[in-house]
A and B are shown apart, each in its own frame.
Chain A
Amino acid sequence: MIEQQYIDLFTQFREELDAHSVKGMNQHRDAAFDTFRQIGFPTSKQEDYKHSNIVRTFDTDLGLNLRNIPIPVNPYDAFKCDVPNLATHLYFLINDRYYDRFQPEEKLPEGVFAGSLQRFSELYPDQFAAHYAQIADYSDNGVVAYNTMFAQDGFVVYVPKNVILEKPLQLINILRGGVNLSVNRRILIIAEENAQVKLLVCDHTVDDIHFVVTQVTEVFAGVSAQVDVYELEENSEKVTRLNNLFSEQKDNSNVVTSSITLHNGYTRNNYRFRLLGQHAEAHAGGLAICDKEQHIDNFAFLDHVSPNCMSNELFKTVLNDRATGVFCGKILVEKDAQKTMAYQNNRNLLASDSAQMFSKPQLEIYADDVKCSHGLTTGQLDEEALFYMRARGIDKDEARLLLMVAFTRDVVDMVRIESLQERLTNLINKRFRGELMRCGSCNVCI
């Protein structure tokens, strides 16, 4: 059993784990451990993991940095932005630890906290207890259970009532190490009533070793709050990224997420949205560009609990070479969720004969007065459009590129930071031109 080594490790190093973390996180470990022992990692025998065999990625010798041995890197030097008018508050996680030797110079508005999860648990124990591991349900998710067992730190942004953070926050996750590593990080986003926050999370790999990363993000959007979470992955091909985002929304709140996979190895993104309050809106975007042997699996679950809510999903995939893509979109409209509007779109482009896409929409509707729709297409570039462009003198390769960039347009349009839209368009262009082979410098700062 692949899980056994992690069960042993947890039992053996439990004290170390606790000693280098905080009480608030430690007190969730036992329950998670119990669940993990029962259910283990998901296997491809389970319907929701049919096309992503993630358990095998744990079947290697992975180290865990439980004692928090500092990893020599100065992220701010290594990842200096070359773009003028740097318009974010910048933070770093090195593997799964908050990097506290660098702090943004600019002060955040009164009452706002952005930084280490450990520190947050000390400064705001009540807030921490009310939110940490409260919606990241692991009862049927072994990866989240595993993360809850081993996570020791992470990043948090807390925006109190009526505070609007105009400037986006940017969190850069850096993977560094000398041996193959299991990295387990947490992100917590709390926006109280009428608060607004935008967070961009960028993933980079520095070292050419295997990383298996589990990331669990919890998003709490209070009444009339607005939360944007943009995730941009530019990891190396040796990285497995198992990402789980849970979001809960109160009345009139508005949450936008977008997961942009520009370069990766093996990625599974789980998104789970619960629309608890009335008139809440959730917009979930996703774009993956994969080639070679890269694998992307986007799984989105939208749970309409209350009436009068709106959800909109748009996931797009561009696959070349032997890349594989998976999309599953679940919409659950519960009995009381009348007047729900739920839209789901999944569009995929196959640029080679050996690329494969598996796509599955799933709608479960228990209310009778709702508007729900889903659309799914997987196809090739439009030959007629290609010829039309060539007939105007545009080179065949250039025409293909323009069409592929055009295909990604509406996902980029969902992003509510204009400078990030431009930056993304640029990066997407570079990606299709083959100029974004491997990360290692900061391509992403906005």
Chain B
Amino acid sequence: MTSMLKIKNLHAIVEEKEILKGLNLEVNQGEVHAVMGPNGSGKSTLASVLAGNPKFEVTRGNILFKDRDLLEMEPEDRAREGLFLSFQYPVEIPGVSMVNFMRAAVNEQRKYRGEDPISATDFLKLMRDKRDLLGMDSQLVNRSVNEGFSGGEKKKNEIFQMAMLNPQLAILDETDSGLDIDALRVVAAGVNKLQTKENATIVITHYQRLLEYIKPDYVHVLYAGKIVQSGGPDLAHELEKRGYDWLINP
């Protein structure tokens, strides 16, 4: 098994408060991991640290991404190396069209790999194919990035971008929040289509609902900045039935 991600004893702070307190996690190629946990346990901090959000500071521990030191890499280089974060709260960028945004992102990735910029025809075809995959309104991609999108449209747009960039490691941060059941199905189906033996996915979620559609190989419970329990898919069901309490106060 080829290692995708190795997190060892990760400590991270935001605004001088320690949120992650010694987190360990290993993800290999071809695997789907679910990270669950109650509010405030550090789930989104983990996602932000992995993507390189400058607001978060790692104080101890290390992270290897494809056997390279992730924490040494700028956020843009992490993305070009194939790491993708689907944001819990996608950002609106008025004045930057989805088309220009995606073209810039795709071409930066290609440049990093030493490839020529994508041709206009290929780019439009790629946009169309991936848009269809997510059943997105053709008008959305002509608008400014996330501007005026509904909650559900924003989440679909995240997975659309993921499809465009075809990452090796996708981190889905609360992708199910704000989605109705139909949108959830579409988004999950999109994620499942993108999952292969070569890449890996980390699904961060509060509820078990999303895991009905995206089947994890492993489930981890994050509490107070640490993984307190790991198991197979059954663990998610047990959490659904019993809540988190039995793990937190045994």
Binding site for B on A (CB under 8 A): 382-385, 387-396, 398, 402-403, 405-410
Chain B residues within 8 Å of A388, by CB: 87, 90-91, 93, 145
Chain A residues within 8 Å of B91, by CB: 382, 384-385, 387-388
- Asked if A391 and B75 sit within 8 Å, CB to CB, the answer is yes
Query: Nearest Cβ in chain A — how far from B144, in angstroms?
Result: 8
Could you mark each residue 98-130 of chain B with 1 if its beta carbon is under 8 Å from any beta carbon of chain A, else 0? Answer: 001100110011001000000000000000000
- Asked if A393 and B105 sit within 8 Å, CB to CB, the answer is yes
- In this complex, what residue of B is CB-closest to A395? B76
- Asked if B76 and A402 sit within 8 Å, CB to CB, the answer is no
- Asked if A393 and B54 sit within 8 Å, CB to CB, the answer is no
The 5 closest A-B pairs by CB, nearest first: A406-B95, A393-B79, A409-B95, A388-B91, A392-B105
Partner of B52, one of A391, A395, A406, A407: A391
- Asked if A395 and B108 sit within 8 Å, CB to CB, the answer is yes
Q: A387-B53, A389-B101, A402-B100 are in contact. Are A396 and B76 (CB under 8 A)?
A: yes
Distance, CA A403 to CA B97, complexed state (A): 11
Does B203 count as interface, using CB distance less than 8 angstroms? Answer: no
**14 further contact pairs, Cβ within 8 A, besides A390-B79, A394-B105:** A384-B91, A385-B93, A387-B91, A388-B93, A389-B93, A390-B74, A391-B78, A391-B79, A391-B87, A392-B161, A393-B79, A393-B108, A394-B76, A398-B108
- Asked if B94 and A406 sit within 8 Å, CB to CB, the answer is yes
Does B49 count as interface, using CB distance less than 8 angstroms? Answer: no
Query: Nearest Cβ in chain A — how far from B57, in angstroms?
Result: 14
- Asked if A407 and B95 sit within 8 Å, CB to CB, the answer is yes
Query: Nearest Cβ in chain A — how far from B87, in angstroms?
Result: 7
Distance, CA A387 to CA B92, complexed state (A): 12
Distance, CA A393 to CA B85, complexed state (A): 11
Could you mark each residue 63-75 of chain B with 1 if its beta carbon is under 8 Å from any beta carbon of chain A, else 0? Answer: 0000000000011
Does B96 count as interface, using CB distance less than 8 angstroms? Answer: yes
Chain B residues within 8 Å of A393, by CB: 76, 79-80, 105, 108-109, 112, 165
Does B141 count as interface, using CB distance less than 8 angstroms? Answer: no
Chain A residues within 8 Å of B79, by CB: 390-393
Query: Nearest Cβ in chain A — how far from B82, in angstroms?
Result: 10
Distance, CA A381 to CA B165, complexed state (A): 25
- In this complex, what residue of A is CB-closest to B78? A391
Distance, CA A390 to CA B94, complexed state (A): 16
Chain B residues within 8 Å of A403, by CB: 93, 95-96
Partner of B108, one of A394, A409, A410: A394
Chain B residues within 8 Å of A394, by CB: 76, 101, 104-105, 108
Query: Nearest Cβ in chain A — how far from B105, in angstroms?
Result: 4
- In this complex, what residue of B is CB-closest to A384? B91
Does B51 count as interface, using CB distance less than 8 angstroms? Answer: yes
Distance, CA A437 to CA B94, complexed state (A): 28
* Most chain A CB within a 10 A radius of its CB, from B51, B75, B94, B105: B75
Distance, CA A37 to CA B78, complexed state (A): 67
- In this complex, what residue of A is CB-closest to B82? A393
- In this complex, what residue of A is CB-closest to B93? A385
* Most chain A CB within a 10 A radius of its CB, from B53, B78, B104: B104
Query: Nearest Cβ in chain B — how far from A295, in angstroms?
Result: 26
- Asked if A387 and B93 sit within 8 Å, CB to CB, the answer is no
- In this complex, what residue of B is CB-closest to A387? B53
- Asked if B93 and A398 sit within 8 Å, CB to CB, the answer is no
- Asked if A391 and B109 sit within 8 Å, CB to CB, the answer is no
- In this complex, what residue of B is CB-closest to A408? B95
